[in-house]
Structure 1
Amino acid sequence: MIKKIIYIFILLIIVSCGSSRNKRINQTKNRINSTKTISNKKVTVTINDTKDSNSTETKEDLEATSKVSVTYSNVNSYIDSFKDVAKLNMKQYGIPASIILAQGILESGAGNGRLCKEANNHFGIKCHKEWNGPSITHDDDAAQECFRKYEDPSESYRDHSLFLTSRSRYNKLFELDKGDFKGWAKGLKAAGYATDPKYPSKLIGIIERYQLNKYDNEVLNKTEDIKSDSVVINENNTNTNNLSLYIIQKGDTLYSLSKRFNLSVEELKKINGLKDNSLSLGQKIRLK
């Protein structure tokens, strides 16, 4: 009987020790997991904060075959890369360089869209029945549609021009003045190039914001000062009494501009079609 009691007592001690040991192990694991979670959270927050603090430009969304967020610098870099190709195509095929560039910017997300990166397709041109070259699938009007794939971006630009010149539905476009980018933008939508009802206004907005019509003027040998609705751009922001367009500098806000040029913030937003108070370096603001 005494031996049985001693055996039970020892067994209870063993079970108690085991339970305490497991509890300590679990507590340790929980502390480790908690530390990892906190550490990861700190790293993520730090990265995000760093990106936000280094960003000096307002982002804008470009949405056609891909929706991407780009900056003013992204778009200007794209223009610098392809303006000469666009001008050459204008000379060869009669399509305004401003329209070519604006479509490239919009459809490719200024070079950041998936079709552009993976297929060098800058204009969202689908395969169609006559296409025998390489292709890529991408969700657009329908799921997994077939889009053309190119070896080099210049091939995409050339194919875009051939696409417009070889289809009768675009014939009326070539009756327009080569400098009439607004007519071309509206004509593309009317001819069925895009299903987006806002497609013309998107193209026109890009052309006006980035002054792409100056490349049309260069091809057409219009060497006089580039004008937009008879408004002369003063690149150095000098002679402010006669200034019609102002180029945004570091530190400028709509409020500071309203005080400087004796206009209200709402007037500036209305003149420039601005939806909010965001400005970016190098942006051109109308004052009249």
Structure 2
Amino acid sequence: MVGCNATKPVITTTKKAPLKPKTEIVRTGKKTIGTKTAVSKVPVRQPITTNPPKQVYTNQVTEVIVSTSQTVVSSDVVANYITKFKDIAMDNMKVYGIPASIVLAQGILESGAGRGDLAITANNHFGIKCHEGWNGESVKHDDDAAQECFRKYDNVSESYKDHALFLTGRSRYSKLFDFSKGDYKAWARGLKAAGYATDPKYPDKLISYIQRYKLHQYDDQVLEVDYVSKPNQIIEDLNIEPKKSKINIDKNLISYVVQKGDTLYSISKRFNLEIKELKEKNNLVENALSIGQQLKIYQ
């Protein structure tokens, strides 16, 4: 990697001290990311509150994620990371064609679910170094060598966008875009084949996160395909209330107010309409909706 010639101030950080030897995993390259999972013998009981968080795991799983720093996270930390950045990942999928599931899985691994040093000090969630031509802000951080130059962003959204530009702007990743956007396994293996990571288990780790946290549902939402989840398993894993799937449809219904979690796809299925028809009724150009937005349904 070639260091940057940043013109803006440089912030210096140092690598976190490693954990105890029994859980330490040594990283051998920039993109060699190790994880170690340990299931608690005694389930962690969450306190009862009047306003519980949306995603709380009843049986916590703690793991060590090693990227540009070593981070210990639990299942609810990862779940909250996904909730926070899934919309950015889906928006980027629409623009750049990179599966949201892949982006989220890489973000989890590269940033330690947002808890890693670079994520905190530089909003850098993908460990992207300065490289030649970078004129933005930067930070110094120990990685393959001492005090290497890493890009610093004003916000996480910029990091996600830069990651997309990183993949779309380099010819060695061009073959990835021949894969189906819904085939996350091919994308995971393709990233390794293209040289994104030196860890031979990198594809398996991405696939594991995608399957454990059902990240492929976000690909399906963008592609507007019928995502079939396992409600019983989700309810068992997460302390959330299941949504009622059956409603009484009033054919004389004039409008519908968008609720939290609604998408054009879910609304079209609910009222037995085509997405195209729903968009035409409401003069919508894009698929984005906002809570409280009023949509015309049948009249």
TM-score normalised by structure 2 residue count? 0.58
Offset at 1:224? 4.1
User: Quick one: which of 202, 206, 211 aligns to 1:208?
Assistant: 211
User: Quick one: which of 169, 175, 178 aligns to 2:178?
Assistant: 175
- Higher radius of gyration, 1 or 2: 1
Stretches of structure 1 that go unaligned for 5 or more consecutive residues are: 1-51, 227-232, 238-244, 251-288
Contact in 1 for aligned 2:96/2:164 (Cα 8 Å): yes
Cα deviation, 1:35-86, whole Å, max 9, x if unaligned, reads xxxxxxxxxxxxxxxxx98786231112222221101100010001000000
**1:150-229 to 2 correspondences below 5 Å:** 150-226=153-229
User: Quick one: which of 90, 94, 100 aligns to 2:93?
Assistant: 90
Whichever residue aligns with residue 173 of structure 1, its letter is L
Q: 3-state DSSP class of the match of 2:61? A: coil
Residue number in structure 2 paired with 1:117: 120
- Number of residues paired by the alignment? 185
**1:1-288 to 2 correspondences below 5 Å:** 57-226=60-229, 233=230, 235-236=231-232, 247-248=236-237
Whichever residue aligns with residue 72 of structure 2, its letter is S
1:139–1:246 distance in 2 versus 1, CA, 3 Å: same
Contact in 1 for aligned 2:221/2:227 (Cα 8 Å): no
Offset at 1:109? 0.4
1:53–1:181 distance in 2 versus 1, CA, 3 Å: closer
Residue number in structure 1 paired with 2:284: none
In structure 2, distance between residues paired with 1:190 and 1:153: 27
Whichever residue aligns with residue 158 of structure 1, its letter is K
Residue number in structure 2 paired with 1:36: none
TM-score normalised by structure 1 residue count? 0.60
In structure 2, distance between residues paired with 1:182 and 1:225: 18
Stretches of structure 2 that go unaligned for 5 or more consecutive residues are: 1-42, 47-58, 240-299
1:221–1:53 distance in 2 versus 1, CA, 3 Å: closer
Offset at 1:130? 2.0
Q: CA RMSD in A?
A: 2.2
Aligned sequence identity (%): 59
